[in-house]
Structure 1
Amino acid sequence: MAGLLGFSRHVMAGMARVPARHHELLIEKLDDIVEGRCDRLMVQMPPGSAKSTYGSILFPAYFLSRHKKSQIIATAHTASLADYFGRHVRKTIAEHGERLGLTLAKESRASPKFALEEGGEYFAAGVRGPITGRRADLIIIDDPIKSWAEAESQTFRDALYDWYRAELSARLKPGGRLMLIMTRWHEDDLAGRLMAAEPAWECLRLPAVAERDDAMGRAAGQVLWPEWQDEAAMLRRRQEVGERAFAAMYQQRPRPPDAALFKADAIRILAEAPVMVRTVRAWDLAASLPGIGRNPDYSVGLKLGLAADGLLVVLDVIRFQGSPAQVEARIHAAAKADGVNTLLALPQDPGQAGAAQVAMLTRSLTGFQVVASPETGAKVMRAMPAAAQVDAGRLALLAAPWNENFLSEITAFPDSRKDDQVDALSRAVNTLATTSSQTARRVNVPLLGR
């Protein structure tokens, strides 16, 4: 069958169509799920890119052909859309069953929820619909949000995330695979939360108009599917929907209504880090665990380096929700991994309890350079020195899986729902600018900005 790409070309040829370049890249990632090379895939593409044709119709049929006794749960924002996908998966199997080596069970030939003679099953359900008693080797979530009203509602976003964690993901068998296909709507939508909370997800993000370091190798400004929507059509669409909607739904980089403080387009992504003359690991601390209806702040440890030419490079971001003991353990583990030449910058809560916490941490970090200071002034004011470095083109990121979530958060600041990474970045930049070379283990370099 020559893999999913060969099967897709065969099916699409019957409709006088062929997979475009971005479809072939998507198919490559879907093949990784089939072969077990990936178990968490997130696909972010604009409306009209045919992501559901390949991800929610052709892919499930092919997956069942390779894993004939597997069970699939497929969900969408409404039961009617989930049923639509199910009917087309069943239709694909009915028309291409001989090629796939699959036979529909007789009682399933008119249902979007069907079984196969070979033992496999496909079950379709709307978001927050009934799935109790079902188990799955593969779960597909396709467009879990149907409108701006839902996307803008924190109540809805919380309910969707709670349903995913407590109900849907609990249906996954050991070793099972998850795929989320969606157009982004909001920085705190399901994709945003999963990228923040579960770093194991592999993300295929294809904006309508290419940015730098494009996953397809496009030059900046090239459109995703010129045969479908050329540059003139995309420009017209951008004018029709407005910049905020275009950034979210078409570029897959949602942002709040107001202008952002950080100009993320000025931040470079480096394949390798230059030699650093000073490094700091700055922490923004929280100490509570998530629960149903509760999405607390994150603890963030951001490692920032200063190169000899004055370039600041974010080398690493640790971001997690944990108990006080887990937070302390991660601080110690990061300090050990970073080494004694990396300065630790800790926040000190006001009052005696904050001073006692810092004193305890400092004693337990014997041999490391530790500085602590209270957070003073508004968050925006504390972030302005970092934003100035970004505007001047003097901040870069070391290429890593955390890049996307980091850029999403700082782009949305100060109106983002979470700002823990911004706080950690602010502390790191301000620490490098205000600590002496002696404090930073006597490295003889000028202070930032001089």
Structure 2
Amino acid sequence: MRPAAGNYFRREWFEVIDRDSLPVVRQKQRSWDRASTKPSAENEDPDWTVGLKMSRCSHSGLMFIEDVVRLRESPGRVEKAIYNTATRDGQETVVIIEQDPGQAGEVEVQYYIKKVLFGYIVKLIRPTTDKITRARLASSQAEAGNIKIVRGAWNEDFFNELENFPDGAHDDQVDALSANVNAFVEGGTIDYKALTEY
């Protein structure tokens, strides 16, 4: 039986805090769920490219969603946005990107590591399960009160998408959240490659 919307995420599970309430943390990462299609007459509501930044307090284990970047643009503009966001985040923020299956996916991530994100630590993820399975850890951490959200203009769209998962029109922010939480909590189970290996 397919889970109904609202069973995985509820906004009341996330405490919204002001940015000046963030603790000083050293673990920071931004995960990207990439798309590359602009709205058009043929496709008025394409997927979004989403970059979700999180930090984690090593003492308490609490995680903080600090920022969400969203855009629907051409591949070139998406690439530029990822580079500009990494520059703004700084080299202490790890960049997480998903590798698509096959040779084309390998070539694309090599390009990002060697060209677009040169000088940054990049973690590659190669998902082997479906979106719902990947979201379960984020869901359980949220329900336990372990994920807090920094107040921002993006909050309402974020909550709406999460509460409609898995039946909503889009799940790009859910995918980015899942990748981030899985990397923090189950880092050892995901195949990572760091920039220094190339």
Which TM-score tier does this pair reach, normalised by the shorter chain? 0.7 to 0.9
TM-superposed deviation, 1:257: 6.3
Q: What's the TM-score once normalised by structure 2's chain length?
A: 0.87
Q: Scaled by the length of structure 1, what TM-score is found?
A: 0.39
CA 1:309/1:361 → structure 2, altered by over 3 Å: closer, same or farther? same
In the other structure, the counterpart of 2:50 is 300
Superposed CA deviations along residues 360-400 of structure 1, whole A, max 9, x for unmatched, are 00002221100112222110100001001101000111000
Pairwise CA RMSD = 1.9
Cα distance in 1 for partners of 2:23, 2:154 equals 19
When Rg is computed on C-alpha atoms for both structures, the one with the higher figure is 1
Residue 4 of structure 2 contacts residue 166 of structure 2 at CA under 8 Å; is this kept in 1? Answer: no
Determine the structure 2 residue equivalent to 1:285.
Answer: 34
- 1:114-173 CA-partner distances (Å, limit 9, x unpaired): xxxxxxxxxxxxxxxxxxxxxxxxxxxxxxxxxxxxxxxxxxxxxxxxxxxxxxxxxxxx
Equivalent in 375, 381, 401 of residue 133 of structure 2:
381
Distance 1:257 1:353 in 2: 35
Cα deviation code 1:41-78 (max 9, x no counterpart) = xxxxxxxxxxxxxxxxxxxxxxxxxxxxxxxxxxxxxx
- Residues 301-347 of structure 1 show CA distances to partners (whole Å, capped at 9, x for unaligned) of 00011023111110000011011101110110011111111111000
Determine the C-alpha separation between the residues in 2 that align with 1:435 and 1:332.
24
1:416 maps to 2:180? no
Match of 2:178 in 1: 426
Superposed, 1:10-89 pairs within 5 Å as none
Return 5+ residue gaps in structure 2 as ranges: none
Q: Which residue of 2 aligns with 1:269?
A: 16
Say if 2:29 and 2:95, in contact at 8 Å, map to a contact too. yes
Q: Distance in 1 between the 2:111 and 2:4 partners?
A: 42
Matched AA of 1:287? S
Q: Which residue does 1:363 correspond to in 2?
A: 114
Alpha carbons of 1:352 and 1:412: their partners in 2 closer, same or farther (altered >3 Å)? same
| Contact kept? 1:268, 1:396, Cα under 8 Å | yes
Counterparts in 2 of 1:328 and 1:258: CA distance versus 1, 3 Å: closer
- Give the Cα–Cα distance (whole angstroms) in 1 for the partners of residues 100 and 178 of structure 2: 16
Q: How does 1:74-113 map to 2 (within 5 A)?
A: none
Match of 1:353 in 2: 104
> Aligned pair 1:393/2:145, yes or no?
yes
Matching residue of 1:344: 95
Instruction: Output the CA distance in 1 between the equivalents of 2:130 and 2:5.
Output: 18
Aligned residues: 184
Q: Work out the percentage of aligned pairs sharing the same amino acid.
A: 37
Query: 2:56·2:63 contact (CA, 8 Å) conserved in 1?
Result: yes
Q: Provide the C-alpha distance between the structure 1 equivalents of 2:135 and 2:47, rounded to a whole number of angstroms.
A: 18
Q: Which amino acid aligns with 1:264?
A: R
Change in 2 beyond 3 A, CA 1:431/1:331: same
Measured in 2, the distance between the counterparts of 1:324 and 1:382 equals: 26
* Residue 333 of structure 1 pairs with residue 84 of structure 2: yes
SS of the residue 2:79 aligns to: helix
Mapping for residues 188-337 of structure 1, pairs under 5 Å: 258-272=5-19, 273-294=22-43, 295-307=45-57, 308-337=59-88
Kindly state the Cα deviation for residue 277 of structure 1 after the two structures are TM-superposed: 2.4
Aligned partner of 1:276: which letter?
V
Note if contact 1:264-1:407 (Cα within 8 Å) is conserved in structure 2.
yes
For residues 385 and 258 of structure 1, the distance between their equivalents in structure 2, rounded to whole angstroms, comes to: 17
1:304 aligned partner, one-letter code: M
Is the alpha carbon distance of 1:366 and 1:259 closer, same or farther for their aligned partners in structure 2, counting shifts above 3 Å?
closer
Q: Which has the higher contact order (CA 8 A, sep 6+)?
A: 2
Q: Cα offset for 1:258?
A: 4.3
Q: Structure 1: 5+ residue runs without aligned partners?
A: 1-255, 441-450
One-letter code aligned to 1:344? V
Letter in 2 for 1:290: P
Q: Is the 8 A contact 1:389 1:395 kept in 2?
A: yes
**4+ residue segments displaced more than 6 Å:** none
Native 8 Å contact 1:264 1:390 kept in 2 = no
